[in-house]
Amino acid sequence: MSSSPKFISIIKPSAFRSLQKAATTSPHRTIPIDATWFMPNNPRNAYDEFKQDKTLGPEVGAKFFDVDKWARDSPYPHMLPTQSIMNEAFQELGIHSSDNLVVYDRVGNFSSPRVAFTLKLAGHGKVYLLDNYPNYLKFDFPAESQTVSKSGSDKETSDLSNVPGEVNEVNSPHSYEEIYDREVIEYEEIVTLLENNDISKYLILDARSHDRFTGASPEPRPGLSSGHIPTAKNLPFTKVLNPEANNEYKTKEEIESILTQDLGVDLTKLDATYPGGIIVMCGTGVTACILKLALENIVKVDVPVKLYDGSWTEWAMRAPDKYIIKDV
């Protein structure tokens, strides 16, 4: 079984800089996308920090993608948006189908993989994940103002007939539903796998902390039980990031070692052991995307990797008690 197409390219600061410089002479714009999002208990305000950023903020044409604003209506937090919601986002942000989108967040790698995945899910052609913003700042590159004006009202955006490509709606040979079904798994599907004893065909990786996974610590959302889905393995997203390098992704060899040594996964027999593929999840579907990109783009696993979008928040609110496992 072959893996899903690699949606997103992970690029280092030097490659991003090359895209920025190329945009000075190319008809294709390079637009930085600030995807910063903080947990509800964090006092920082992502949008306020974006507006004040002199390096990758509005002054160089960067755009801010609000994870909570552009989300599907749901009792669960920031569920993946529909195509129509993303069309509204593209229109409001002035993003064109020909643009190079470089997604980043201020933490390093936290919410940006989720937003990069969302943009790609909605059919945008060229989406890059910057690995990562803190490392980019260390280079102290001079600001490039050729991307997009901070007001979005210059000749590039005021007269769309003069811009290569129209404001983006969908730029994919496949429908949104087809891509969604390939890349995302929903609650009902996992319950069916459990009821039919087919869950062993999938490797479930949960990106939350060890204590939340085992049930030793509470969830950050009041009243929500901690624990995990039956058969799931715990792979905290922090394990695939290098804290000594501002949380950039670890190397292929390092991540493979974690999978084989810590989790006992035989990467040479993934297809045989887990013919259904891999399911990644976390608290609300954000940091699970860190694992998704690590598996697809760095390890390059040979099985599909699906995101459980509702993740533990939905599971703990909906699943029967018998499907909430605690190790304490």
Cis peptide before 234 (omega within 30 of 0): no
Do 79 and 102 touch, CB atoms closer than 8 A? no
Burial 42-55 (b: 16+ CB within 10 A, else e): eeeebeeebeebee
> Is 289 annotated as catalytic?
no
The answer to whether the beta carbons of residues 24 and 325 sit under 8 Å apart is no
Nearest to 93 by CA among 177, 176, 29: 29
Rg (CA), the chain: 20
* Residue of 95, 129, 241, 282 with catalytic role: 282
User: From CA 271, how far away is CA 72, in angstroms rounded?
Assistant: 33
DSSP-derived letter for residue 327 is: -
Tally of CA atoms within 13 A in the half-sphere of 59 that contains its CB: 10
Catalytically active residues, by annotation: 282
